[in-house]
Structure 1
């Protein structure tokens, strides 16, 4: 993988990791960048930075000092603190871990980043190691047996067990609304972009950006190309206006994704 991070990400993480080392010496052996910053889909002023902090000891005594550092980070530097042993065991064997959500450090959170998606991103991410007064960035070399298979299986089940009911609920909520009534952009983006990303994961066992997933979905379903383009533009900060008709189209696309999962 290319180790080139967006400049704002590299600068923010370098400052953060150096201060983190000062506050908790010897705690973090490496920091693996995941999420949009690693997939080329990070947007300044919109995206957070997601990181797996690989630690050498139980960080419980260090968390009080680190909580303000996360809270004051801009953009927010979120993620999870894991030992190498926990990473080796896999997400199914890690019940809870310190995690940071929107700048808030929680000492023991279940779920969240403890998924096969994170473990797959550990294989394709970019890792930083503090070296003196700088951070050295290299591709990760993590490999975990059957990660892609676990991830694809989970993506399929998520489409059926989570997203199909979401589609039903969203359709019911829109039933009495006119086609031109306004709808929150976040709602349309969520309905349109999240399921198509799971389709890509289900079929390839890889984590792709929402932008890349939208490109693939537009090629597969050209009738949704305009909606997907506007959703991607809105997510990047180029604000769009969405109405009920757009939300209903996003639900139709969601149902096409579920149909693929049921094959």
Structure 2
């Protein structure tokens, strides 16, 4: 995959970002690997952020204030994690915290987020950008870690049992006394319906699927939820849908089915 295969808005935003990043923190970033929806063919303006692994040559502590301002001003948000080559080689089981950007906010030592085997799996098929003079050179990249295949399955199972099971309990309590036809934010239904199914797909296939591909996977596995999944995908693509408490309850039932896979 090359720059021409990235969404044009992603390539343009990242090129400008990386050039400015080099200006304010010269010599810090040796390469930047684009991951997530931008390279999975599932990036949507106004909905998707741009996820990047920034490989650094030194501890970025002195550069973080300027970088925080740069990330906060980015539109769309350019999120990601700052790691050294040696940290990538050690893997997320060893590297417990790192500077990370979530929804435009940079945290100097954040656990979780992109510090997971999912990111390491995406590094195997990302798109790498290297600043060369006044331009950015894009090329395919394939960073491989020997424990990734086992790690992504273990991470996906644990994430369903810990994180998503708690999310399900919270949503169940939130909507318990609400009428079926009451409105629910589309972001809530999309999040609950599309997040857990990606982890099931990873457990069962060993791949990290885009949200749209995971919806197709889940609709075949649980056809009773196919209509809801189709609507969430359409909403995410910009074809806005109206969702109700009934939809949220169905998304919750799908989440519970995903957790059951992890338990089994």
| Same fold flag (TM > 0.5) | yes
Q: Residue 81 and residue 222 in structure 1: after superposition, are their counterparts in 2 closer, same or farther (change >3 A)?
A: same
Q: Deviations over 1:206-245 (max 9, x none)?
A: 2111110001111222211110011111122221111111
For 2:175, the equivalent position in structure 1 comes to 174
Q: Give the stretch that moved more between structures: 172-181 or 7-16.
A: 172-181
Confirm or deny that 1:229 pairs with 2:230. Answer: yes
1:101-116 residue pairs with structure 2 within 5 A? 101-116=102-117
Give the TM-score taking structure 1 as reference length: 0.95
1 CA distance for matches of 2:184 and 2:51? 29
Q: Which residue of 2 aligns with 1:63?
A: 64
Query: Hey, what's the Cα distance between the residues in 1 that align with 2:178 and 2:63?
Result: 51
C-alpha RMSD of the superposition: 1.5
Q: For 2:24 and 2:116, how far apart are their aligned partners in 1? A: 28
Distance in 1 between the 2:71 and 2:161 partners?
Answer: 35
Q: Does 1:212 align with 2:220?
A: no
Instruction: Provide structure 1 residue ranges, at least 5 long, that are not aligned to the other structure.
Output: none
Give yes or no for the alignment of 1:39 onto 2:36: no
Inter-partner Cα distance in structure 2 for 1:162 and 1:103: 22
Are the equivalent residues in 2 in contact too, given 1:152–1:204 (CA < 8 A)? no
The whole-number CA distance in structure 1 between the counterparts of 2:2 and 2:250 is: 36
How does the TM-score come out when normalised to structure 2? 0.94
Structure 2: where are the runs of 5+ without partners? none
Equivalent residues of 2:231, 2:241 under 8 A apart: yes
Q: 1:8 to 1:257 in 2, by over 3 A?
A: same
Residues 6 and 38 in structure 2, CA contact (< 8 A), matched pair in contact too = yes
Provide the residue aligned with 2:17 in structure 1: 16
> Deviation of residue 11 (structure 1)?
0.7
SS of 1:247 mapped into structure 2: helix
Is the alpha carbon distance of 1:170 and 1:69 closer, same or farther for their aligned partners in structure 2, counting shifts above 3 Å?
Answer: closer
Aligned partner of 2:200 in structure 1 is 199
Equivalence for 1:73: 74
Of 172-181 and 243-252, the range deviating more from structure 2: 172-181
Number of aligned residues = 263
CA drift of 1:165 comes to 3.6
Instruction: Give the superposition deviation at 1:166.
Output: 2.8
Counterpart contact for 1:159–1:258, Cα < 8 Å: yes
Q: Is 1:97–1:108's contact at 8 Å kept on the other side of the alignment?
A: yes
